[in-house]
Amino acid sequence: MAELVEGGVVGSLIAEIQALVIKVALKNIYFKSDLAFLVAILHSIKPKLLGIEKQNKKLDRAEDTKPYIDLLNRGEELVRSCSTIGSLNVFKRSTYSDKLREYNADLQKFCGINVQLEQSSDIKEIKVDLSQLKDMVEHQMGGSFVGGFGEDLELMDRVFGLDLQLEELKEMVLLKDSPVVLLSAPGGCGKTTLAKMLCRDPTIQDIYKKNIFFVTVSKNASITSIVQNLFRTKSGNIQYEKEDEARMQLKGFLEKRKETGPILLVLDDVWPEGEPIIEKFRFAIEGFKILVTSRSVLRSINRVTYTLNPLKEQYAMSLFRHFAFPADSRSCYVPDLEIVKKIVENCNGFPLALIVVAQSLRGQPEVTWRITLDEWSKGQSIIDSSIDLLNKLKTSVVALDEVKKKPDLKNCYLDLGSFPEDQRIPAIALHDMWVELYNLDEENMYTYANLVELAMRNLVNLVPTSIGASNLYDFCNGQYITQHDLLRELAIYLNNQEPIELRKRVILEITGNKLPKWWVAKREQPINARLLSISTDEAFSLSLDSIQLPKVEVLILNSRTKNYSLPLFVQKPGQLKVLIIANYGGCPAELNNFSEVDYLSNLKRIRFEHVSISSLGTSLVKLSKLKKMSLIMCEIGKAFENCVSMFPDLVEIEIAYCADLVEFPVELCNIGHLKKLSITECNELSALPEALGALTSLEVLRLHSCTKLEGIPESIGNLHKLKSLDISDCVSMSKMPVRMGELCDLRTLCMSGCWGLSELPQSVEALHQPLKVICDDQTAKLWRLLDYPPAKLELLVVEEAKNLTWLHRSL
């Protein structure tokens, strides 16, 4: 019910329709496919609709939301009418099924999924932001000093944007069942400030009175040093020689203090190496609580975690102005609002960056402000402007060298700078790189372990987008990485500290046709980088063919241009192993010179995103050692006609979000050594060929969210090596193949969201291996009707499957 309240009228209507759909679908199987597609559309457009409604309220333009509400009301009435139709009323069933299809089409057309909604929402966001900025400019901000609680808890005279976070953190600390609370965020986000605010909060001080102990834990801190610091603050300077002595003295001290009330111990800036110290401070004392702040999500301690996010724009602006234009400096130059806004945007909500940059620009003339922006626009990092900011942030990266079990962890972090700003990075793309660069095992659990470690240290955000059988054998599937812009800039800055010819990775970001100065200077001298990343904008039109990179193994091309030309400066044929081309423009990009490039002969992995491959044709003959091909949002056309002999080593094909894939290329079914085939989110694919049964080496088959796929050919029974099958959210699939029982090695089956299924083939009872089935409540009932040995069947019911989340996608 909270969602209904928070979502307003739109949220309530969508929730009501979804609830009605489930009710109708369970009552009348005839409508299941059409209703499932309706829910899928609603799930896809819901976030944008809620955003539009919210912004309209802020702008006092609630009438702009009325057309969406009217359309949703129409849908609710239609679904409610369907609920009254009996299963035997054939005429009405047919009539209302047509009405549902017509409504689905109208809903898609009216809302313009992912286009009109997004544009509308973005425009309204801009209007709200401009309105807020105007209010901030017109209001001169002052500050008041909050009463202090001792030297360790001093704060700056004004704190911005942490009030809500303070209340949320305070709620966690006051929970009785959470003896340890972890406050986690990247360096520079304000963890220490928030912890000090908590200690000074009247409610906390009223509960804990004088029993609040705050100590900063250094990276190499010991129990004795921490206890000495605590007692230096509260009881004078005391020295301890042994760890146990210090620990017992602290315990005795706290046991005496508990007589005066509860105790709060704050351990500030704890590194992963300090986790054992926290455990040794967990004394069984009634009312004793520990608050830990850390850049990492500490894993070994039993705790609740509060994650602190960067500041929102209005608070970032307030914080910046407070330090850039102090009230006692009336004569300071105050630049135009647009200049201030751009400077603040470049700080990306990091309080540390905002303060450092504001202080560096305070009192400076207009030319200094403009030069700063100009340098940033040319690619110079905000980190270049401040040694203090750099030194504070890079300590988190230097610490990666000390993770002995993951020797390549620091390199993995530095590789992340190779991807564009503000884009989600597919975990599987990183896996393809790291397998070749660092000889990681083909099983991507090692890649995933590195990403988890980086996420624990708040250097990246790990974003899961799906739950399915595939996750059981493919840890990176459905996982994306996001990274704060400042942390990406830090990775690029650290990469660039070595001379260009010695760098392990060269990251080239080109605006227009302006190449860096070293490009001409190093024309005759080889550059020994193993990874080359080139990002260009719409205006780029040069041919890159003048630099020698004989050792490059991974080439990443990110662009918004309509036409791609592969660079011709990789001199040594056969060295390149991984090619990633990602187009972020409005339409799929064309590859111009694929057949002219000589260095692809040993290419092992290709990943194309939003690229037209329909004209590649016979140029694919050069990919004789290709092992994996990933096609994401691509135009495929007839690229695979007469091409089977061009892929003698291909073992994995990934196809996702390819709108022109109506029929699966039958030619690919002749690749007898193929082990993994993934076709996901291809909503125009309606059928698979009988020739699919020729893929006798296939071990993994993913058909996730192919909403028009009506079935699987009976020839699937030939796939005796198939271990994992994912047909989740294939809402139009009305039956399973009778020969399912011949899949003698099947271990996992994901089929949540298959609303069109009314029964399972009896043959599945003959499956030999123990079977894990990931499904929803409805499909689980179908399995329980079978005479399947309970010892061999594990049903994992995923409730989220009812929401049909597969249409949510953002690359």
- CATH code for the domain in which residue 439 is found: 1.10.10.10
Question: Which of 39-48, 549-558, 753-762 has the lowest average pLDDT?
Answer: 39-48
594 and 616 in contact (C-beta within 8 Å)?
yes
Say whether pLDDT at 4 is over 50. Answer: no
User: Are 651 and 676 contacting, i.e. CB atoms less than 8 angstroms apart?
Assistant: yes
Write down the pLDDT at residue 83.
Answer: 79
Residues 179, 229 within the same domain: yes
Boundary residue ending a domain (135, 160, 194): 135
- Most confident residue range from 214-228, 529-543, 650-664: 650-664
Q: How far is CA 804 from CA 158, 306, 330, 583, 776, in A?
A: 46, 29, 58, 28, 11
- Whether residue 198 sits in one domain with residue 281: yes
Say which residues have a Cβ less than 8 Å from residue 706's Cβ, sequence separation at least 6: 679, 680, 681, 682, 683, 685, 730
Instruction: Work out the average pLDDT over 71-90.
Output: 79
571 SS3 class: coil
Q: In what order do the strands lie in the sheet with 212-216?
A: 212-216, 263-268, 288-294, 180-184, 304-307
Between the ranges 68-77, 426-435, 472-481, where is the mean pLDDT highest?
A: 426-435
Over the Cα atoms of the chain, what is R_g?
A: 30
Spacing of C-alpha 55 from chain mean position: 25
Q: Is residue 595 part of a domain?
A: no
Q: Report the CATH number that the domain containing residue 240 is assigned in CATH.
A: 3.40.50.300
Shortest CA distance to 42 belongs to which of 804, 800, 658?
804
Q: Is 135 a residue whose pLDDT tops 50?
A: no
Residue 8 domain-assigned (yes or no): yes
Bridge partners, residue 639, by sequence:
none
| Interval 535-577: pLDDT, tens | 888 778 877 776 778 888 999 998 878 887 788 765 555 688 9
> 803 and 667 share a domain?
yes
pLDDT score for 164: 85
Cα of 344 vs its chain's centroid, Å: 24
Per DSSP (E only), the strands in 461-553 are 461-464, 479-482, 505-510, 531-536
Evaluate whether 348 touches 488 at the Cβ level (below 8 Å): no
Average of per-residue pLDDT across 86-102: 75
**Is 555 domain-assigned?**
no
Asked if residue 446 is part of any domain, the answer here is yes
**pLDDT for res 85:** 80
Average pLDDT over the chain, rounded to whole?
A: 78
At residue 527, the pLDDT reads: 84
CA 621 vs. chain centroid, Å, equals 35
Q: Please give the residue that has the higher pLDDT: either 138 or 548.
A: 548
- Among 15-24, 50-59, 238-247, 510-519, the range with the most confident prediction by mean pLDDT is 510-519
Q: Are residues 385 and 418 in the same domain?
A: no
Q: Are 242 and 114 in a shared domain?
A: no
Is the per-residue pLDDT at 133 higher than 50? Answer: no
pLDDT of 655 reads 94
- For the chain, give the percent of residues with pLDDT over 70: 78
Which among 84-88, 218-222, 433-437, 601-605 has the top mean pLDDT? 433-437
Q: Which residues of 98-129 are buried (b: 16+ CB within 10 A; e: fewer)?
A: eebeebbeebeeebebeeebeebbeebeeebe
Question: Per mean pLDDT, which range of 46-60, 146-160, 469-483, 562-576 is the poorest?
Answer: 146-160
Residues 266 and 155 reside in one and the same domain: yes
Q: Are residues 728 and 743 in the same domain?
A: yes
Token pair of 552, please?
């490059």
Rounded to the nearest 5°, which phi and psi values hold at 678?
-125, 115
Across the range 442-464, mean pLDDT stands at 79
Closest alpha carbon to 36 in 104, 123, 102, 92: 104
pLDDT bucket at 805, cuts 50 / 70 / 90:
very low
For residues 604 and 574, give the distance between their C-alpha atoms in angstroms, rounded to a whole number. 10
pLDDT at position 237, please? 46
Reading the block at residue 772, the tokens are 């894990």
Task: For residues 45 and 258, give the distance between their C-alpha atoms in angstroms, rounded to a whole number.
Answer: 54
> Mean pLDDT, to the nearest integer, of 332-336?
79
520 sits in which H/E element: helix 517-521
- pLDDT bracket for residue 807 (50, 70, 90): very low
For residue 421, report the phi and psi dihedrals to the nearest 5 degrees: -65, 140
15 with 103, same domain: the answer is: yes
pLDDT at 347 over 50: yes
Q: Please state the domain count of the chain.
A: 5
- Angle between helix 351-361 and helix 337-347 axes, rounded to 10 deg: 140
Residues 296 and 336 in one domain: no
Judged against a pLDDT cut of 90, whether residue 720 lies above it is answered with yes
Rounded to whole angstroms, the Cα distance separating 462 from 363 reads 40
Residues 6+ apart with CB under 8 A from 73: 13
Owning domain of residue 112: 2-135
Does residue 601 sit within a domain? Answer: no
**Domain end point (choices 337, 366, 390):** 390
Is the pLDDT at 137 greater than 50? The verdict is no
- Could you say which of 307, 330, 350 is where a domain stops? 307
Mean pLDDT of 477-503: 85
Give pLDDT, residue 2.
Answer: 31
pLDDT in the model for residue 392: 64
The whole-angstrom separation of Cα 537 and Cα 560 is 5
Q: Out of 135-144, 245-254, 389-398, 541-550, pick the least confident.
A: 135-144
Q: Collapsing DSSP states into helix, strand and coil, what is residue 252? A: helix
At 780, which helix (H) or strand (E)?
A: helix 777-784
Instruction: Say yes or no to pLDDT of 428 above 80.
Output: yes
Q: In degrees, to the nearest 5, what angle opens at C-alpha 173 toward C-alphas 171 and 176?
A: 95
Q: Tokens 């017509």 sit at which residue?
A: 102
801 Cβ contact list (under 8 Å, min separation 6): 728, 729, 752, 753, 775, 776
Residues 154-183: pLDDT tens digits?
555 567 888 888 999 999 999 877 889 999
Q: Are residues 353 and 473 in the same domain?
A: no
Does residue 711 carry a pLDDT above 60? yes
Are residues 676 and 698 both part of a single domain? yes
- Is the pLDDT at 144 greater than 60? The verdict is no
Distance separating alpha carbons of residues 728 and 702, to the nearest angstrom: 9
Residue 326 sits in the same domain as residue 345:
yes
For residue 152, pLDDT beyond 90: no
Residue 558 within any structural domain of the chain: no
**Residue 416 predicted with pLDDT over 90:** yes
E strand intervals along 657-768: 676-680, 700-702, 724-726, 748-750
pLDDT class of 120 with cuts at 50, 70, 90: very low
CA distance readout (Å), 419 to 372, 403, 408, 447, 737: 24, 24, 18, 17, 42
Asked if residue 796 belongs to a domain, the reply is: yes
Among the residues of 87-201, which ranges form H helices? 90-111, 116-138, 163-173, 191-200
Q: Assign 111 a pLDDT band (cuts: 50, 70, 90).
A: low
- Report residue 138's pLDDT band, with 50, 70 and 90 as the boundaries: very low
Of residues 90 and 499, more confidence is placed in 499
490 alpha-carbon distance from chain centroid? 19
Sign of CA dihedral 484, 489, 494, 496: positive
CATH number at residue 720: 3.80.10.10
- List phi, psi (to 5°) of 436: -80, -35
Q: Is residue 571 part of a domain?
A: no
